[in-house]
Copies of this chain bind each other. A is one copy, B any other.
Amino acid sequence: MVVSVRDVALAASVSVGTVSNVLNHPDKVTPATVERVTAAIEKLGFVRNDAARQLRAGHSRSIGLVVLDVRNPFFTDIARGAEERAAEAKMTVTLGNSDEKIERERAYIDLFEEQRIAGLLISPLADDLPRLRRLRDRGTTVVLVDREVADESFSSVSVDDVGGGYLAVQHLASLGRRRIAFVGGPMGIRQVVDRLEGASRAANEAGVSLEVILTDSLTVLAGRAAGETLSARAPEDRPDAIFAANDLLAMGVLQALMMRGSIRVPDEIALIGYDDIDFAAAAVVPLSSIRQPAELIGYTAVDLMLREAGGQAERERVVFQPELVVRDSTSRPL
């Protein structure tokens, strides 16, 4: 029932070594032989056994990618970029979704290690760095995605979140907005903290106020809750601009503002998000945002991993700069 190289060799009257050569180094085999072997493969319906190849090679040809939330297009885009670079190297990306849960993150790390993935790309949740260090010490190349770490113990690809937060609030202030609200959380997520830091800095410099509305996750639902809180306030107590820690949140806020009090955006409250997911431009009020080169991040992460694993490069830390994208939600000055 199951066809192996041996059966192919038999059928083509060659040795298994030759079959393997046809598969992996066809240039080392006579065209006539190649043809004969290929015909046998076709006829018998032979399909390589990846497990055997891996066992031989010592590691798989697939790269593990653990993200915080598969439902966030930002991460889907990173995955797409990673897949692209992986494909160039004839490799594959296996996606794991930690769903912001530490035990899921760990389970994926362990699973991937058993699978002897060629490398691990991870947007780590909390500071479970010791575990990653151990993994790395056992020989798996680890690249941090969308996250840097203070010491230089890991390669990483990230975006300057402090800078991004600064850009956002600077933009709002330049529109004449004076009372800005930052919507985001939880503070256990580094990106949130960094964006807030940048926002504070810009607020101080511009001499505008910045209040913080804490959320317990980075989802549309959490954004809606925050938006409802805000729109329930008396008009004079509302901020005149909102910076949301990501676009999902911003979209939730937007929906709440429009639905409840039909507060006009951007007239009464300007709104800016973060990530610039496709959906941001397609929102009812097209959303201003801070763009991060998601696909490039994924692409670069695989690239670093490949180079570090190939021994051709030391650990490297790449930091991209975010970019302000202005759309209707912040189009008019106050």
Chain A residues in contact with chain B, CB under 8 A? 1-2, 45, 47-52, 54-55, 58, 60, 70-71, 73, 76, 92, 94-95, 110-111, 113-116, 134, 138-139, 220-221, 224, 252, 254-255, 258-259, 278-279, 282-284
Oligomeric state, in copies:
2
19 A-B residue pairs with Cβ-Cβ distance under 8 Å, sorted by A, are A1-B138, A2-B139, A45-B138, A47-B113, A48-B114, A49-B116, A50-B114, A50-B115, A51-B51, A51-B55, A51-B60, A51-B116, A52-B55, A55-B55, A220-B278, A221-B282, A224-B282, A254-B284, A255-B283
Q: In the complex, A162→B2 CA distance in Å?
A: 40
Closest to A59 in B: B51
Which one of A92, A114, A282 has the greatest number of beta carbons of chain B within 10 Å?
A282
Q: Let me know if A92 and B111 touch, CB within 8 A.
A: yes
Q: In the complex, A55→B116 CA distance in Å?
A: 14
Q: For residue A2, which residues in chain B have a CB less than 8 angstroms away from its CB? A: 58, 138-139
Closest to A107 in B: B87
Q: Let me know if A139 and B1 touch, CB within 8 A.
A: yes
Nearest first, the 9 A-B pairs at minimum CB distance are: A51-B54, A51-B55, A50-B114, A50-B115, A51-B51, A284-B284, A47-B113, A48-B114, A220-B282
5 additional A-B pairs beyond A220-B279, A259-B284, beta carbons within 8 Å, are A50-B116, A51-B52, A94-B94, A224-B282, A255-B284
Which one of A111, A115, A224 has the greatest number of beta carbons of chain B within 10 Å?
A115
Q: In the complex, A78→B113 CA distance in Å?
A: 26
Q: Let me know if B282 and A258 touch, CB within 8 A.
A: no
Q: In the complex, A116→B47 CA distance in Å?
A: 9
Closest to A77 in B: B71
Q: For residue A55, which residues in chain B have a CB less than 8 angstroms away from its CB? A: 49, 51-52, 55
Q: In the complex, A134→B3 CA distance in Å?
A: 14
Q: For residue A115, which residues in chain B have a CB less than 8 angstroms away from its CB? A: 50-51
Closest to A55 in B: B51
Q: How far is the CB of A306 from chain B (nearest CB, A)?
A: 19
